[in-house]
Structures are given as structure tokens and as C-alpha cells.
Amino acid sequence: MNGYFSELANKTVVVTGGSKGIGKDIALTFAKLKANVVISGRDKTALDAALLELQMHNPKCIAVSGDLSDIAEVRKLIDKAASEFGTIDVLVNNAGVNIAKPAMEVTEEDWDTVLDLNLKSAFFASQAAAKYMLQQNSGRIINIASQMAFVGYVKRAAYCSSKGGLVQMTKALAVEWAKQGIRVNAVAPTFIETELTARMFEDQEFKEDVDSRILLDGLSQPEDISGAVLYLASNLANFVTGETIKVDGGWTAI
């Protein structure tokens, strides 16, 4: 694989929600390839710690704190990245949230919280990044969806709706921007083993249910998702757009 992904060196890569979990792993994957990575997050302490890790591989990486539920903050992030490095080459819309509740208990505030971050912010980040990508007639937008864009699950009415919308948004933007050289794709993970999900899997009944739906052994690891994102960002995926790669261990194959 010598030479593969070398084209990503010095590219400007924005990763939303890049301070923890799979977002941080995705950001580190690009930083190790010497991309100029810009991460965002709300937790300043976690953001600063993640940035130190990134800068071990590329000192030019930066972090921008902010709540991406606020569209003004979304635009600030993209404009900051472009002003720092001249353009935006890759946008990874990873920031997301879930409020696990039975459908009958979901409030309007719950619904807006999930949809605003998972779907609305991803659209406006894509719009803001495309402003720069259209000028150079190239760019990659990669949305982190979920296998729950394709299947239902209990206590996730808002989450499933947001991720299903994200997959359709991926197709719509791919169609609209293909002739301008912008490729828009998505990655749909299953549950991932990270420090953020550890508490969730303390519920043994829940863990057993998840395990029963994944055909491969164990839970997905962050690098499983980063590999799919890296592929879509690279020249290996030059003829791929409007696609969602499921990294779900076979969950949706049944």
C-alpha cells in the first residue's frame, strides 16, 4: 500500500465532534498522514487534550470550540479552518447526540436537540464548506450516519429519524454538487466500543441484544470507522458519490 493516501498530506480536513470517541480517532488518522486537521467540540478540556495528540503528528492542526447546534458556530468553524489553511478539502460531519427515551416520552426539546445537531448542523456545515470547495472544483464531504438510518430500534425514534435524514441528505448533495467535483458520501457504523459507550454496555441485557444483532465477533472499534472515512476521503474513492458504507458487522444484512 506504499503511496496510498499520500495525497492527503497538507489537505485541510475538518472533523466535527473531533475531541472524543470515533471523531478523535478519525482526526488522528488524518493527522498521522500529515493532513492539516481542524477539530471542533464543546468540551474545552477534551478538545485541548485531543489537539495535543494531533499536534504530535502534525503541529499545524488546530481546534475550534463551539456548540454546533448554533448555526453561527458552524459557520465560524468552517471559516476559521479556511482562513487558517486557505481552503477546505475534506469535511467529516461527525458531531452527534442521542437521547434514549421511549417514543411516548420524547419531548419537543429532545427532538430538536437530536435533529439540530445530527442533521441540521451537518447540512449547514456542508453548505459552508461547499462555498470553498466549489471555488476549487473539488472536495469531499463525509457524513457519519448509523446503521439506524436503515433499521429501527427501541428508544431511538429521534435518532433513527436524524440518521435516516442524513443518508438522504448525502444523496441529495451528491446529486447537486457532482458536476462541481464535490463527492458526498456517508459511513454508517453500528455501536462502537469507546470510552463514551462503556457505561451504556454496563446494561447486560442491552449488550446481549446488541451482540445478538452483530454477525461478526465483538463490537466495532473506532479504527473500523476511520478506515472507511479514510477510503472515502482518498483517491481510491474518486468514482464514489452518494453512497453510504455500512460498517455494522452485518447487522443490516439479516
Secondary structure (DSSP) of 61-99: -EEEE--TTSHHHHHHHHHHHHHHHSS--EEEE------
Name residues of the chain where pLDDT drops below 70: 1-2, 196
Predicted confidence at residue 49, as pLDDT, reads 97
- For position 169, what pLDDT does the model report? 98
Q: What is the model's pLDDT at position 35?
A: 98
Global pTM exceeds 0.85: yes
Separation between Cα atoms, residue 254 and residue 252, nearest integer Å: 6
pLDDT at 1: 42
Please give the pLDDT value at position 188: 98
Q: Give the separation between CA 174 and CA 126, rounded to whole angstroms.
A: 11
Question: Which residue from 38, 21, 79, 41 is spatially nearest to 219, judged by alpha carbons?
Answer: 21
Reading the block at residue 254, the C-alpha cell is: 439479516
Residue labelled with grid coordinates 453512497: 243
How far apart CA 129 and CA 211 sit, in angstroms, is 37
In the 8-state DSSP scheme, what is residue 13? E
Cα 158 to Cα 52, 64, 94, 190, 209: the distances in Å are: 34, 27, 17, 17, 20
The DSSP H or E segment spanning 139 is strand 139-144
Q: Say if residues 57 and 35 touch (Cβ distance below 8 Å).
A: no
CB atoms within 10 A of CB 76: 16
DSSP string, 99-126: ----GGG--HHHHHHHHIIIIIHHHHHH
Q: Which residues contact 121 (CB under 8 A, 6 or more apart)?
A: 16, 68, 69, 71, 74, 93, 95
Residues sharing a CB contact under 8 Å with residue 75, sequence separation 6 or more, in sequence order: 124, 128
Who's near 143: CB < 8 A, 6+ residues apart? 93, 122, 126, 166, 167, 169, 170, 184, 185, 186, 187
Q: Give the contacts of 213 (CB within 8 A, at least 6 positions apart).
A: 251, 254
So what's the pLDDT on residue 101? 96
CB 53 within 8 A of CB 36: no
In one-letter notation, the amino acid at residue 245 is I
Which residues are part of the catalytic machinery?
159
What domains lie within the chain, and their CATH numbers?
Answer: 7-253 (3.40.50.720)
pLDDT at 199: 83
What is the pLDDT, as a whole number, of residue 2? 55
- Packed helices 44-55 and 21-32: angle between N→C axes, nearest 10 degrees: 20
CB 71 within 8 A of CB 120: yes
